[in-house]
Amino acid sequence: MFARKLTLEEHWRANLCMAAAFEYPFEWNKENENAPEVDPDAEWYGAFPAEDQPPVSTLIINRKEVRFDGHILKMGGVGGVATLPAHRRGGAIRACMGAALRDLYDEGYALSHLYPFSTSFYRQFGFAPVGGQSAIWRVRLKDLQRLPKARGTVCQLFPGDDLSPLLDIYNRAYGDTNFSCLRGTFDKNLEGGKPLKETRWIFVWSDEDGTPGGFLVGTRDKDTLHCVPDFSAKDAFLFTNVHALIGLLDFVRTAFIANFEAIQFTVPAHLELTGVLPELSGMECRAVLNGMARAVNAEKLLQCCHCQGEGQLILKVSDDILPENNGTFALRFAPGMENQVERVDSAPDIALDVGNLAVLLGGARTTDSIAMTPDITVYRDTPVIGQILYRKPCHILDLF
């Protein structure tokens, strides 16, 4: 089994793999005759049993840039992972993943993210769960009656309206959030008449000065206004401050209490809403997995991570796919100084794989999680660990 990038003429084969793997219709004549649509930010990979045979497994690398401790780093988002049923458990995905990660490393990428169907499956490729970093709230509209009164206005956006406020709100809401992607537009699928065709609504809240501060993209899910980004409906609920949050919720209650029983939306788990919502007894909040991550270039992440105070930590890093990441690194840091990273032969303070390295440096989990992670070994319990691996705003909003 070997893997390589697919040519444009082979893209329909990837669609065939996904149709067979995910059990959706595939129109043979239309698929293999139509000219392929080219996404300049996506690369398709396939695994082949032999040179003269078609691919039996595919994946897509979505090339992105993400925020990371004040830096902008290149990140490859993994999606479209599929294998023909007759070729499963034969190493095809490992071949695809190896080829894709090798190209990402050679092209200067630092991170890779994905949303898994199985966390245990992707652990074998060096990915680690980001953790319960998304909180899905379901709030009954009648329980919002005692919200503080929010000043400001709400407008609905229709085809042809300016959608740039959505991107501006996104950038202000996620500008200091690790793992958040840079975007040229908030969501190109909201352009044109597609939202109305899909019965999706866009509402923007602005403060008294007319500055947009929050928005929602919603659809109906039975008796609930659905504002959760997922693969079935990439809805949204974003706000830049508590006033925008209150303004949006108050608008939904006032405008839709006759249409819906509740609103469902997602926020990063580091945003605590219990101090805002007036009535918690009838509300539901559950933490959900916020994807998985791995370092593509461990040394680059160590160079870019933000450390507190001054000190040195010796880290032993392991990677079963990219041997360049294997080794022991000394990380030295001090205020006003760029991180100094070098390979050493010293005994490590801590040993971890590239997945847990990315998740902990990104701030997705606290140091308390280390004791509950079998893949991490602490050889010397030093306070310096907490100066490097500590909780920060960290959230993967994009789906791949």
pLDDT of residue 202: 98
Of the candidates 354, 369, 341, 330, the one whose C-alpha atom is nearest the C-alpha of residue 131 is 369
Confidence of residue 337 (pLDDT cuts 50, 70, 90): very high
Of the candidates 89, 91, 88, 78, the one whose C-alpha atom is nearest the C-alpha of residue 45 is 78
Q: How many CB atoms lie within 10 A of CB 43?
A: 18
Query: Over the stretch 255-300, which tens digit does the pLDDT of each residue have?
Result: 999 999 999 999 998 888 998 998 888 899 998 889 999 999 999 9
N residues, the chain: 400
pLDDT: is 56 or 272 the higher one?
56
In this model, does residue 31 exceed pLDDT 80?
Answer: no
Query: Over the stretch 209-233, which tens digit does the pLDDT of each residue have?
Result: 999 999 999 999 999 999 999 987 8
Cα separation, 302 vs 297, in Å, equals 9
Cα separation, 304 vs 5, in Å, equals 30
Tokens of 243: 């006033």
Q: What predicted TM-score, i.e. pTM, was given to this entire model? A: 0.93
Query: Over the stretch 148-157, which tens digit does the pLDDT of each residue have?
Result: 888 899 999 9
pLDDT of residue 83: 95
The percentage of the chain sitting over the pLDDT mark of 70, rounded to a whole number, equals: 98
- Whether the Cβ atoms of residue 214 and residue 169 lie closer than 8 Å to each other: yes
- pLDDT averaged over every residue in the chain: 94
Pairing relationship of beta strands 71-83 and 57-68 according to DSSP bridges: antiparallel
Of the candidates 350, 307, 322, 394, the one whose C-alpha atom is nearest the C-alpha of residue 110 is 322
